């Protein structure tokens, strides 16, 4: 196997594995066992509740409330309404889009008693209102229907404590219903005083796997219960860390602001064109996304309802979904042990190959890595300008995200081919230096943002282990041989799958305006691919890089010149939206 073959095979195999990991599960059908979640059963509610737009105050919204009340009574819940007049700002927002701002928000509080109603209750929450002109099948009738199906799948005798379902109104007008329930001193209902855990179900799109992207403080024990009850959950302290620094809000915001209530937030954000779109109909909702959202929340809800006691507050955990092993959870201090193991492996590799690398060669390899990152970020930024995404219409660019993600991937590929076209230093110079880069970045993350540690520490550990094994076996020659790189490339595959999965979710979150912020992911990618990066010939690599750039430019121009997406809502131009 040539170096080019090994390089391309490892890169493409890692990307393919990432694609498998971001794929949604097969939706459950009518034959799904009654104690499991079935998207087909939940879709029956989606078709009824999302048959037309139902913004706050509309006749359609009143129909949705009535339908929900009937369904909840049939599931054994005691239901009452919480009526909240719209605050001035919310009323102006609704009226500006043609809504009836004179009508109040009508939220529903549904309670089904457990064996001991004196214990803190478990609450699921989703908003039942849609924006003007959108049926809201994804945002957020998918969450509403999932809650009903979860309540059906957990029979009342199985509840050790009360199950509360909160269907809030006017979320799209500024979290009006949720704030009425959870804002201290302004409560419209005392239910918040009885709740120990709130799980919010949301969507910003019409498909994809549901990510657990936000928690309340002191989440350690709650996350451990999530890993035990839903081992394949898509969850990440990296996403939690990023979301905490974004100006976004969902109905969970007033819950966290209130304090004293444990919290989890789940949402799918794929098929972004569906966000607030007139095309967000039941027929276009990806049922696999609904299945993943519902099954994930069902697992943790059942665990909470049947546990002898709710998880006590504990220091925030570091966690991420890893290939093969599932959701891995540990305390921030454990990150230092991972970094210590990584440092030992890097030190051993450098010692074992001390005659095959030089300080001058290491500086050259470091410079090459930096240039590769600069080129990748620069290409992503420039191609984003070509696509018209800087300052472009928000909803139109949401519809273009799959093409823009392809542009970013092609730009990254071109940067990697540049690295292959102009090797700096010896094979061991590059391998050792490239493996040290994510380690150094992981140390910085451990100091500043421990929750982001897995994104760098895990690939760094895999790269260091592969380097140490490669340095120990084989001959003493300066060049890297085939037998030395095989273990490293096998270890690289889960690392590339992990990075590809995270990169996809990150791009969905920030891709249209800021694709270049994903360029630093090339730091661990370079480390994992280092032993297979070809050393020539230069001209074919440059030609391949030019071809990728040509394709990327063509796609970017396609995005720029394409007609406006049919999914754009009638009030396009207002980019600050609630969930």
Please tell me the least confidently modeled range out of 44-53, 61-70, 76-85, 177-186. 177-186
Residue 40: pLDDT over 60: yes
Dump pLDDT digits (tens) for 195-233.
Answer: 999 999 999 999 999 999 999 999 999 999 999 999 999
* pLDDT band per the 50, 70, 90 thresholds, residue 476: low
* pLDDT band per the 50, 70, 90 thresholds, residue 189: confident
Residue 172: pLDDT over 90: yes
pLDDT for the residue numbered 186: 60
pLDDT for the residue numbered 187: 64
pLDDT for the residue numbered 541: 87
158 phi and psi angles, rounded to 5 deg: -80, -5
Domains of the chain with bracketed CATH: 3-20+332-353+366-561 (no CATH), 32-330 (3.40.630.10)
pLDDT for the residue numbered 540: 84
* pLDDT band per the 50, 70, 90 thresholds, residue 247: confident
Sequence-distant (6+) residues with CB within 8 A of 173 are 56, 86, 90, 91, 93, 94, 105, 129, 578
pLDDT for the residue numbered 434: 96
In whole angstroms, what is the distance from residue 570 CA to residue 568 CA?
7
Residue 477: pLDDT over 80: no
pLDDT for the residue numbered 424: 79
pLDDT for the residue numbered 111: 98
Place of tokens 């665990």: 303
Q: Which of 250, 184, 260 lies closest to 216 in space, CA to CA?
A: 260
pLDDT for the residue numbered 220: 97
For helices 39-49 and 143-153, give the axis angle rounded to 10 degrees: 130
Q: Which residues pair with 168 in a beta bridge?
A: 127
Dump pLDDT digits (tens) for 250-299.
Answer: 999 999 999 999 999 999 999 999 999 999 999 999 999 999 999 999 99
The arithmetic mean of pLDDT across residues 436-465, rounded, is 96
Mean pLDDT in the chain?
A: 93
pLDDT for the residue numbered 10: 95
* pLDDT band per the 50, 70, 90 thresholds, residue 308: very high
pLDDT for the residue numbered 483: 80
pLDDT for the residue numbered 481: 72
pLDDT for the residue numbered 509: 85
Tell me if residue 299 falls in helix, strand or coil: helix
- How would DSSP label each residue in 217-273? SSBHHHHHHHHHH-TT-EEBHHHHHHHHTS----THHHHHHH-SSEEEEEEEEESGG
What percent of the chain stands above pLDDT 70?
97
The arithmetic mean of pLDDT across residues 330-339, rounded, is 97
pLDDT for the residue numbered 184: 83
The arithmetic mean of pLDDT across residues 10-21, rounded, is 96
Higher pLDDT among residues 333 and 473, named by residue = 333
In whole angstroms, what is the distance from residue 518 CA to residue 496 CA?
14
Residue 577: pLDDT over 50: no
Dump pLDDT digits (tens) for 497-526.
Answer: 999 999 999 999 887 888 999 999 999 999
Residue 101: pLDDT over 80: yes
The arithmetic mean of pLDDT across residues 432-436, rounded, is 96
Sequence-distant (6+) residues with CB within 8 A of 208 are 22, 24, 268, 269, 270, 271, 286, 289, 508
The arithmetic mean of pLDDT across residues 290-318, rounded, is 97
The arithmetic mean of pLDDT across residues 522-538, rounded, is 89
């Amino acid at each position: 196997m040539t170096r080019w073959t090994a390089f391309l095979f490892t890169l493409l195999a890692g990307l393919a594995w990432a694609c498998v990991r971001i794929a949604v599960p097969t939706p459950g059908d009518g034959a799904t066992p009654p104690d499991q979640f079935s998207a087909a059963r939940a879709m029956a509610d989606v078709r009824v509740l999302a048959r037309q737009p139902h913004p706050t105050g509309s006749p359609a919204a009143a129909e949705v409330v009535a339908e929900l009340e009937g369904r909840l009574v049939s599931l054994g819940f005691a239901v009452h309404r919480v009526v909240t007049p719209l605050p001035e700002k919310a009323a102006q927002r609704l009226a500006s889009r043609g809504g009836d701002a004179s009508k109040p928000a009508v939220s529903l509080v549904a309670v089904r008693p457990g064996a001991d109603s004196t214990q803190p209750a478990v609450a699921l929450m989703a908003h039942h209102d849609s924006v003007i002109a959108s049926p809201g099948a994804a945002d957020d009738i998918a969450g509403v229907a999932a809650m009903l199906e979860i309540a059906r799948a957990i029979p009342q005798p199985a509840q050790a404590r009360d199950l509360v379902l909160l269907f809030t109104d006017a979320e799209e007008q500024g979290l009006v219903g949720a704030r009425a329930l959870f804002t201290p001193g302004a409560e419209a209902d005392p239910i918040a005083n009885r709740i120990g855990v709130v799980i919010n179900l949301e969507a910003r799109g019409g498909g994809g796997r549901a990510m657990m992207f936000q928690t309340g403080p002191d989440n350690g024990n709650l996350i451990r219960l999530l890993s035990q009850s839903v081992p394949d959950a898509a969850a990440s302290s990296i996403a939690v860390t990023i979301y905490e620094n974004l100006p976004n809000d969902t109905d969970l915001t007033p819950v966290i602001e209130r304090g004293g209530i444990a919290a989890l937030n789940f949402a799918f954000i794929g098929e972004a064109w569906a966000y607030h779109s007139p095309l967000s109909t039941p027929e276009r909702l990806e049922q696999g996304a609904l299945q993943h959202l519902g099954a994930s929340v069902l697992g943790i809800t059942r665990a909470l309802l049947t546990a002898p006691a709710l998880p006590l507050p504990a220091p925030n955990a570091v966690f991420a979904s890893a290939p093969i092993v599932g959701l891995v959870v540990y305390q921030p201090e454990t990150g230092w042990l991972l970094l210590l193991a990584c440092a030992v492996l890097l030190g051993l590799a450098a010692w074992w190959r001390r005659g095959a690398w030089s300080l001058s060669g290491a500086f050259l390899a470091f410079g090459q890595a930096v240039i590769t990152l600069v080129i990748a970020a620069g290409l992503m930024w420039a191609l984003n300008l070509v696509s018209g995404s800087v300052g472009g219409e928000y909803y139109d660019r949401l519809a273009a995200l799959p093409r823009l993600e392809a542009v970013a991937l092609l730009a990254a590929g071109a940067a990697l081919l540049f690295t292959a076209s102009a090797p700096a230093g010896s094979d061991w110079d590059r391998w050792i230096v490239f493996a040290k880069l994510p380690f150094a970045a992981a140390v910085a993350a451990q100091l500043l943002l421990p929750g982001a540690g897995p994104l760098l520490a895990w690939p760094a550990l895999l790269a260091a282990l592969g380097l140490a094994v490669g340095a120990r076996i084989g001959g003493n020659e300066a060049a890297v041989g085939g037998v030395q790189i095989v273990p490293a490339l096998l270890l690289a595959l889960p690392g590339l799958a992990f990075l590809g999965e995270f990169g996809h979710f990150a791009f969905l979150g920030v891709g249209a305006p800021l694709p270049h912020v994903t360029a630093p992911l090339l730091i661990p990618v370079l480390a994992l691919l280092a032993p297979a990066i070809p050393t020539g010939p230069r001209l074919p690599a440059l030609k391949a890089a030019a071809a990728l750039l040509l394709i990327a430019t063509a796609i970017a121009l396609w995005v720029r010149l394409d007609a406006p997406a049919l999914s754009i809502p009638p009030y396009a131009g207002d980019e600050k939206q609630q969930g």
